[in-house]
Structure 1
């Protein structure tokens, strides 16, 4: 309010007590507001003309900006964009790079939400997809690339066979062909592995998982490595190097090495609207402050549980990259020196009935479709996350009738082993 004195109750209940005293909090403040006031006519003009300051949370918010800076730094990137979910992060990243008439090459071993996006929605927008089954075969990736390929996509650690993605090899192929590699790094987290340091152009996360860590919020993030110069590939990314529709600077001119996230933040996310709540952003930042502590313990416990299961007579196989028998174990020792992650799957000899018995009778493990929680979780992929794949497609990614996926939490390892030992 100004110096004008008002007496109306309705006016006072709206305007009095809405301005906090200036202060410098040690914890990140939550700017839980739809929009921000302009101090002058000129400030509003500058905001919309030059992008300075804040006007509306869908476009920018100080809390969200601070969390973006934190996550970009942890991932070894130059800029980040925080959005409403991990699925929104994948969608926004893809739509920043590809449009009608374009093509994507992806690993078969990806999250079902991403696979559904690629198979069911993107074709309706005129974007085609080719999947690579043998993700370790660089010649298979090369053979899948066409003149209109705009994105290579994979996951650092796959679900459910726990396969490692050779980011360096595929990123090198991408640079050779002028195509950015986008890596979903949710399972590994930046504490265990940073794809941008291995040549990926963009790293995406479901921040709902390990970054927040407590199963309380939904969010997603795209982190730019700042290494892919779109201006060098003008024919492939015309929408990034062309002048604006009003004749102004192109996105490549405005954002340089951060063109991808600059375009995503200015043109894709604000228009599609996957805005994250500042409160959720704050909680993700709170979780990220203990990321190393949690993931280190998650990994230690998962390895102990995987070793126990590998020796159990009821268990046919364990797909955990931390075990010596896993096909990618040697690569994991090179790429994941801090630990092998929390999530893995194991297959029971008794098939689906045995899996159902375990799910229905465990007590310390929680049955739910989530991962990266401080609590240990269990899921039957064949009937849930991978239900929309054919039996053959499930077999190809390591999902069998008796397969269970676990996300190992922070309970006492003896309690987790005892819970499974009782029901196996």
Structure 2
């Protein structure tokens, strides 16, 4: 393929990482549904296991179909490499795994998906890790939360559920000053709307399940490495800067340079955690990415139409969509997400919790599911579902209070969606 740096996004989303199959000439990337791969000879096998040669050993580690997806997502994000895994939650653990250790902490935004809040506030404690939750609009609070045991800063580019846009440039400056990697979950934006590496992110994580696949068929995750962080600048990241006993003292950063994190993610992360993405799921995601730009344009257009209509509805107290001029995050759209503010936003109903439940139950075209980024329009009452495990204070801080309903606007005719909302709101406020 031609030099990727000279090709446009629409071209790369179709061609990056792929070529006609050398054995058959198949133009679409085949599904390599195999567990293992035959070695040429004993010497070839030894070199692969010693990380002296790149190739395929076992599909828990590497697979040709998954490899194409990794290169495509990395290219679209402007990274040097990527590691795909079984889900977005797996990607978050994979991103932290080489960085953390017992007693270490990560500074995270309060505006996160409810499952991520639980993962950071509860689950990672079992590894001896901890998280400090901070409002990332308060830059002083972010700086104050960093201590000698902090090993990363984590946020979402466009936060789920409210569609809030994080000032990535400002957070990246804080991370750089502290000598810490910035990890950005770019699921809601996708690389079409936002490229966090261009704003200073070290690592980008995705739930492939959402916009990248775009059709609600598979679960998957991905960690993209910018290749720009100096893992040897301090002694904070020994997994990457110190000799690795499992590979006879090999030092990942010294050996692999900008690709150190990516190789560690495969050789250690996938080897030992086993959070593998299956090749059929990778194939579906590759198909979805081919139309990413077209879908995101329509998602954003429809979301703007619906948000504009909803902000004038008498039953609605507030609409959080950053694309609206009334949003406090509107000024960040042009700088962080210049092609649109995504399809995700929330509304707050004047009649509270019960009205939210009635609204969800009264919609016809909107599917009531715990997902986002589908071609279909989706709705959920986060306080009673995805954020149910949180306290009301945590729900409000995350933008998922009891009187809030979240929408992921799909690709349908906008007038049909508005008509569905109109009848459902009438029933909810009756």
| Fold shared per TM-score above 0.5 | yes
Q: Secondary structure at the match of 1:146?
A: coil
Q: Is the 8 A contact 1:97 1:260 kept in 2?
A: no
Alpha-carbon distance, 1:51 to partner: 4.0
Q: Is the 8 A contact 2:115 2:387 kept in 1?
A: no
Alpha-carbon distance, 1:350 to partner: 1.7
Q: Is the 8 A contact 2:374 2:410 kept in 1?
A: yes
Q: Is the 8 A contact 1:162 1:319 kept in 2?
A: yes
Q: State the distance in 1 between where 2:102 and 2:399 align.
A: 33
Select the residue among 79, 82, 98 that pairs with 1:80. 82
Q: Is the 8 A contact 2:48 2:55 kept in 1?
A: yes
Alpha-carbon distance, 1:43 to partner: 2.5
Indicate yes or no: 2:243 matched with 1:237: no
Q: State the distance in 2 between where 1:21 and 1:264 align.
A: 28
Question: How many pairs align?
Answer: 403
Q: State how 1:35-74 maps to structure 2 within 5 Å.
A: 35-49=36-50, 50-74=52-76
Alpha-carbon distance, 1:38 to partner: 2.0
Q: State how 1:256-335 maps to structure 2 within 5 Å.
A: 256-335=257-336
Alpha-carbon distance, 1:126 to partner: 1.4
Q: State the distance in 2 between where 1:219 and 1:105 align.
A: 25
Q: Which has the larger radius of gyration?
A: 1
Alpha-carbon distance, 1:262 to partner: 2.1
Structure 1 window deviating more from structure 2 (352-361 vs 23-32): it is: 352-361
Q: Secondary structure at the match of 1:97?
A: coil
Q: Is the 8 A contact 2:348 2:404 kept in 1?
A: yes
Alpha-carbon distance, 1:160 to partner: 2.5
Q: Which residue of 2 aligns with 1:362?
A: 363
Q: Which residue of 1 aligns with 2:3?
A: none
Q: Secondary structure at the match of 2:159?
A: coil
Q: Which residue of 1 aligns with 2:108?
A: 106
Q: Which residue of 1 aligns with 2:207?
A: 206
After superposition, the C-alpha distances for 1:288-338 in whole angstroms (9 at most, x for unaligned) are: 110000001000000000001001111111011011111111112322221
Alpha-carbon distance, 1:21 to partner: 9.8
Q: State the distance in 2 between where 1:359 and 1:21 align.
A: 50
Q: Which residue of 2 aligns with 1:121?
A: 123
After superposition, the C-alpha distances for 1:76-104 in whole angstroms (9 at most, x for unaligned) are: 11100010100000011011211112111
Q: Which residue of 2 aligns with 1:15?
A: none
Q: Is the 8 A contact 2:113 2:161 kept in 1?
A: no
Structure 1 window deviating more from structure 2 (408-417 vs 247-256): it is: 247-256
Alpha-carbon distance, 1:247 to partner: 4.1
Structure 1 window deviating more from structure 2 (332-341 vs 88-97): it is: 332-341
Q: State the distance in 2 between where 1:334 and 1:22 align.
A: 45
Indicate yes or no: 2:177 matched with 1:159: no
Q: Which residue of 2 aligns with 1:9?
A: none
Alpha-carbon distance, 1:400 to partner: 2.7
- From the superposition, tell whether residues 47 and 238 of structure 1 become closer, same or farther in structure 2 (CA, over 3 Å): closer
Q: Which residue of 2 aligns with 1:401?
A: 402
Alpha-carbon distance, 1:373 to partner: 0.1
Q: Is the 8 A contact 1:118 1:129 kept in 2?
A: yes
TM-score, normalised with respect to structure 2: 0.91
Q: State the distance in 2 between where 1:46 and 1:282 align.
A: 28
Structure 1 window deviating more from structure 2 (351-360 vs 20-29): it is: 20-29
Flag structure 1 segments of 5+ consecutive residues without an equivalent: 1-19
After superposition, the C-alpha distances for 1:348-403 in whole angstroms (9 at most, x for unaligned) are: 11212211222112111101100000000000011001111111222223323221
Q: State the distance in 1 between where 2:286 and 2:243 align.
A: 36
Q: State the distance in 2 between where 1:21 and 1:412 align.
A: 42
Flag structure 2 segments of 5+ consecutive residues without an equivalent: 1-20, 426-430
Alpha-carbon distance, 1:48 to partner: 1.8
Q: State the distance in 2 between where 1:408 and 1:60 align.
A: 35
Aligned-pair RMSD on alpha carbons? Answer: 1.5
Q: Which residue of 1 aligns with 2:216?
A: 215
Q: Which residue of 2 aligns with 1:17?
A: none
Q: State the distance in 2 between where 1:406 and 1:121 align.
A: 27
Select the residue among 92, 95, 101 that pairs with 2:94. 92
Q: Secondary structure at the match of 1:285?
A: helix
